[in-house]
Amino acid sequence: MDCGGSCPRCPNGKACLVANDCIGGACTGGQCGPCTPLQLCGSDENGLCQCDEAYPSGEPVCDTGPALAAVAGGCANCPAGTETCVALEFFYCYKRCGPTTAAPIPPVLRCLNHLDCPSRLCQDNVCVFGNECQTRSDCREPFNNTCGGGFCMNL
C-alpha cells in the first residue's frame, strides 16, 4: 500500500486497513469509501476528525478539528489553507483530516461485555483500545488468537 498510515490518505476505492488510511474517512471490507456525516472518521495530529457535508456540493468530507475559522458571507472569505467549507449558522473553514504520526485516537465506546467492543476488550463499561494490529504477528498475550478488524482478539 503506497497510501494511508503516515503517507497521504488513500482515495475511495483503494485498499485499506483502518479509517485513517482513507481520505474519505471510512474503511469498510478493506476498501476506502466516503464517511457518514456527523460521524467520527479517524484522527490526525490535531485529534479526532469528523465527517461533514461540504458546501455547496453536499459531498461527505472528513475534516480535521478545530475549524480554521467561522466566517460570514460565504466560503470565499475563508483563510488561506482552507480545504473544505461547511455551511451551518456560519461558514466553517477546515483542513481535511490528514496523515497521522500518532496512533489513531479511538472514539469512546460504551460496553457491557467484551463482545460489544471492536477491540474485544471492555473495562469499566468502556471499550479499551491499544491492541491494534495489521497482522496476527502484531498480537501479544492475552489477545493473540487473531487479528480482525484492526484489533488483536480471542474469538
Is the whole-model pTM more than 0.85? no
Q: Is 111 helix (H, G, I), strand (E, B) or coil?
A: coil
pLDDT score at 129? 62
pLDDT score at 106? 45
Tens of each residue's pLDDT in the chain, 155 residues: 567 767 788 899 999 888 888 888 899 999 999 999 888 888 887 778 889 999 888 999 999 878 889 999 989 999 998 888 998 888 999 998 876 544 444 455 667 777 777 666 777 766 666 566 777 776 665 555 677 666 666 55
87 and 119 assigned to the same domain? no
Grid cell 500518532 — which residue?
A: 102
* Domain assignment of residue 12, yes or no: no
50 and 90 assigned to the same domain? yes
* Domain assignment of residue 4, yes or no: no
pLDDT score at 149? 63
pLDDT score at 47? 79
59 and 90 assigned to the same domain? yes
44 and 88 assigned to the same domain? yes
Q: Is 20 helix (H, G, I), strand (E, B) or coil?
A: helix
The count of structural domains within the chain is 2
89 and 48 assigned to the same domain? yes
* Domain assignment of residue 55, yes or no: yes
Residues 6+ apart with CB under 8 A from 58: none
pLDDT score at 35? 92
90 and 118 assigned to the same domain? no
In one-letter notation, the amino acid at residue 32 is C
pLDDT score at 153? 62
* Domain assignment of residue 103, yes or no: no
Task: Select from 140, 105, 108, 152 the least CA-distant residue to 126.
Answer: 108
pLDDT score at 105? 43
pLDDT score at 16? 87
Domain that holds residue 53: 40-94
pLDDT score at 119? 65
* Domain assignment of residue 135, yes or no: yes
* Domain assignment of residue 147, yes or no: yes
pLDDT score at 152? 66
pLDDT score at 66? 82
* Domain assignment of residue 7, yes or no: no
Task: Select from 42, 77, 81, 79 the least CA-distant residue to 63.
Answer: 42
Cα 89 off chain centre by: 25
* Domain assignment of residue 13, yes or no: no
pLDDT score at 56? 87
pLDDT score at 46? 79
